[in-house]
Chain A
Amino acid sequence: MFPRVSAIIPLRLLSPFPLCPGGSEAPAAAIVRLGAPHGTVRTKNEVHRYFGTNNVICNKKDEQSAPTRDISKETETQESVKENTKKDLLGIIKGMRVELSTAKVQTTRPPNRRQLKSIEATTGRLHKVPEDAPKKRTKSLSPELVAAAAAVADVLPFDKQMTKSELLRQLQQHEEVSKAQKDGERAKISVSNIISDMKIAKSSTARVSTRPVHQIQFDEGSNDYVGQKKTNDLKKSLRKNMLKGKRLNIFDLKAVTEEAPETETAPSLWDVEFAKQLAEVNEQPLQNGFEEMIQWTKEGKLWEFPINNEADQLGFLHMAAVEFLTARKSKD
């Protein structure tokens, strides 16, 4: 049930992303849009907005890239752009609030707050780097992204420090946004899990031994979604992993498959016992009456079917011999 719910959500998430490039491409997009006149940029933003509240992320990003451009380019249109961006941002914030409140999950509020802070930062102080946010954010970026941002900043013919800081900020915001979305998703999925987790915690305290299974459930009830996405991506790549790759290269196929002349030795005790152990592996209690009859037939306790009247000639003779011998003995 829950995996299916979670399956829908990533679809909605993924759709805006093609429209707005990923974090590492943000600088490239910024470069591209640098050349475009402002008017088209603005309309594009509005168009994005009309696509629906899902594109909240993109809109926000566009708004942030707009300020970047403003920093680096004309200053006279800055004021009007700022006003527009402010208006759009407010609209976006309202939209975001509506969207997140419909989820009715508590845990999305912190990401909301985080996003609000970042938006205020960009609108409030376009030139200065906001103080509190980056302290949180600087940790979340991977070093490669930072290095990429630095490289891009070097390439751009503008104020390197400024562009670099702006780019980094955008990347971090993007990270936060995606994380917030993920958290939101995870939180949505795990609503019932939370409830059931609470029950599990109670019952596990009632019991003497806490079972590791339930502990795991409590900790990671929400990893399903993430895990599934991962597995679908990595499954294909790992499939080759197990079979292909380096081997020990000690044995040679030719040498191993050639039939060495085997000396026929009677099976030693080791072999006999090993065979007995192997037979035990497959042992299961009998499943029905026929299997019981099979067992008895194999042991010799039951006639074989179809009944063969000429059977057991040897047995008959053996019995006769035994009787003869015992009779003889008793005579002596």
Chain B
Amino acid sequence: MAAVASGRCVGVRCRLCLMLTGQWTGLCGKAPSRFYSGSATLPKIEGANVTGIEEVVIPKKKTWDKVAVLQALASTVNRDSTAAPYAFQDDPYLIPTSSVESRSFLLAKKSGANAAKFIINSYPKYFQKDTAEPHIPCLMPEYFEPQIEGISEAALKERIKLKKVRASVDMFDQLLQAGTAVSLETSNSLLDLLCYYGDQEPSADNHFHQSEKSEELEEAIEENNEKSKKAGHQFGVTWRAKNNAERIFALMLEKNSHSYCTMIRGMVKHRALVQALNLYTELLNNRLHADVYTFNALIEATALSMNEKLEDKWNKILELLKEMAAQKVKPNLQTFNTILKCLRRFYSFGRLPALQTFREMKAIGIEPSLATYHYIIQLFYQHENPSKGSSLIIYDIMNELKGKKFSPKDPDDDMFFQSAMRVCSVLRDLELAYQVHGLLNTGDNWKFIGPDHRRNFYYSKFFSLLCLMEQIDVTLKWYKDLIPSVFLPRSQTLIDLLQALDVANRLEVIPQIWKDSKEYGHSFRNALKEEILMLMARDRHPPELQVAFADCAADIRSTYESQDARQTAPDWPANPLNYIAVLFLRGGRTQEA
């Protein structure tokens, strides 16, 4: 079914109402056009006959994506701010109350699915019965073992496709011993495999590990490591000298630029920087041309090399770029992003080059992605110390980005919002934060918020800034909106909120906050409890409020008591005791005091 569906579809996306109306006309149009071939001509004739009526234009038949209807429906649903995110089961016991819990719940869900898949794939013979009609390929067991036996190039290709590093290296060796030549293409793909995975098997649990981003060291590219399904790169994979990749590279009779390029890329990926640069000179000696990806890798290699001064490194990078232009290799977005990423290590020296690079990028017409802006922000706001007269470039950036929608172009795109919000909070600029948040809500940009921890960071910073700078009513509105449906607050966030309440003299909300805190699992956070107690005990309040406060205090006292029961050390900090006593007295509960 999937195959057929993909054959039929040309995805056309429209707005909601257009979609629905278009859907109906599409349907109506489809049916007649399929069965009555002549119907399309009828209205035209009519129109031609009747003078004074403009000609009827029949719209082109619209083909709709198979998910068009669903997408239309999905776009009507807005976030429900009183509910937990959809990903969680809608059961009171299974709704997370803290960010730690939410992460573990999601992981549990995912790992359950993965475990099931693992079992199906490990014992395919038990899962052969296929009752689904039409056939659902992805639910059937997958085959990971190579089928073709014997020594042949086809077998080698299959093993490469299945990403089996060891097996394909062995097959290659066997082929060479048998005397058959391996074609250049196959050799190259073998090299690719080895270089990408650094002579390691790709991790079998591909789906289980999140592949880390490129900052990790990767093992040297073993030649044509089998492209096993392992995409998880282990830490500390370094390029071992004389590994399989280099060996096979040496054995290859003819090498084209692709071979060199992939070797260089692999070396850089696995941090064999000097060798990469040497290989590059060899490539030039052989009068071959490197492609843009190789240049990107070389730039990274230059920037990461240890022993040079920053200006020298920068000059070398400029030289590489000039060679690139001379060889008529077109730079792409990754080129500039790599440069900016490496400039981060240059600290303040890198600011001017970074701006120059940015302008170059715009001059050539390459549209910067969110990752570009992220690197620039990182470079200019590296230390959280605004007293040095921090740069105001963030304002430029936000002006530039107003209203733009983005699509993923760089793996680091999802770090932008986090760093932007960090800068906002450092600069204490609420308006800027609103701008950033507005950008987040434009179009599909919300998807760039990144994984859980980044989203939590973003919203915590945002909310803290709101507590600091915004009017208390607006803050409380945001509070109701964001918590718990978007993020679950840490105790620090709640403390910030309490302080904002204090400043705005709205202490009557405190019992409510305490109730929420209990819900979010902060009952045993001493700092939070002390804060609450102190705020309540500090001034005298009208009597009803005192009663509410006294209830609250009783509650807190009970948490202390239960906590003591759990732990052996029965130390009540002095301050809470004071506060509780005072509150009880004021609330007319002298007995309990």
Q: Residues on A close to B: CB < 8 A? A: 1-3, 192, 195-196, 199-200, 203, 206-207, 211-213, 216-217, 219-220, 223-224, 227, 231, 234-235, 238-239, 241-253, 255-257, 260, 268-270, 273-274, 276-294, 297-301, 304-306, 311-316, 318-319
Contact = CB atoms under 8 A, between A and B. Distances in A.
Contacts of B136: 300-301
Interface in B1-40: 1-5, 27
A1 B363 CA distance: 43
Contact of B359 (A219, A245, A270, A318): A245
24 contacts: A1-B471, A3-B430, A199-B499, A200-B499, A219-B387, A227-B386, A246-B356, A247-B356, A247-B360, A248-B359, A250-B322, A251-B325, A253-B364, A255-B328, A270-B192, A286-B86, A287-B77, A297-B70, A300-B2, A300-B137, A304-B5, A311-B5, A312-B5, A314-B3
A257 B365 contact: yes
B345 interface: no
Contacts of B527: 203, 206-207
**Which 8 pairs between the two chains have the least Cβ-Cβ distance?**
A312-B134, A290-B74, A312-B1, A300-B2, A247-B359, A315-B134, A285-B87, A304-B66
Interface in B481-528: 492, 495, 499, 502-504, 526-527
B65 to A, nearest CB: 9
Nearest to B329: A260
A216 B384 contact: yes
Contact of A318 (B77, B135, B408): B135
B400 A242 contact: yes
B293 A238 contact: no
Nearest to A239: B396
A303 to B, nearest CB: 8
Given A1-B504, A270-B196, A294-B71, A248 B392 contact: no
Contacts of B410: 278, 281
B61 interface: no
A297 B396 CA distance: 42
A285 B322 contact: no
A292 B73 CA distance: 12
Contact of B4 (A244, A260, A301, A315): A315
Contacts of B413: 281
B134 A260 contact: no
Interface footprint category on B: 35 or more
B321 A206 contact: no
Interface in B387-420: 387, 392-393, 395-397, 399-400, 407-411, 413-414
Contact of B502 (A196, A249, A278): A196
B143 to A, nearest CB: 14
B574 interface: no
B344 interface: no
B547 interface: no
Contacts of B27: 306
Interface string B116-142: 000000000000001001111111000
B135 A315 contact: yes
Contact of A241 (B322, B328, B396, B470): B396
B358 interface: yes
Contact of B395 (A231, A274, A291, A316): A231
A211 B2 CA distance: 52
Interface in B441-481: 444, 446-449, 464, 468-471
A274 B337 CA distance: 15
B262 interface: yes
Contacts of B531: 199, 203
Kindly name the residue among A217, A242, A280, A287 whose own CB sees the greatest number of chain B CB atoms within 10 A.
A242
Contact of A311 (B134, B393, B446): B134
B386 A216 contact: yes
Contacts of A313: 4
Given A250-B322, A278-B411, A285-B106, 19 more contacts: A1-B471, A196-B502, A199-B531, A207-B527, A227-B428, A234-B392, A241-B393, A243-B359, A256-B364, A268-B262, A278-B409, A289-B86, A293-B70, A300-B137, A304-B66, A306-B27, A311-B1, A313-B4, A315-B4
Nearest to A291: B74
A290 B73 contact: yes
A242 B372 CA distance: 13
Given A279-B408, A282-B447, A251 B2 contact: no
A305 B73 CA distance: 12
Contact of B362 (A3, A207, A243, A292): A243
B79 interface: yes
A226 B408 CA distance: 38
B176 interface: no
Contact of B330 (A260, A269, A280, A305): A260
B373 to A, nearest CB: 10
A231 B392 contact: yes
A305 to B, nearest CB: 5
A250 B318 contact: yes
Contacts of B356: 245-248
B293 A286 contact: no
A297 B67 CA distance: 7
B231 interface: yes
A94 B227 CA distance: 86
A294 B74 contact: yes
Contacts of A282: 407-408, 414, 444, 447-448
B244 interface: no
B79 to A, nearest CB: 7
Contacts of B130: 319
Kindly name the residue among A257, A279, A293 whose own CB sees the greatest number of chain B CB atoms within 10 A.
A293
Interface in B232-260: 258
A287 B79 contact: yes
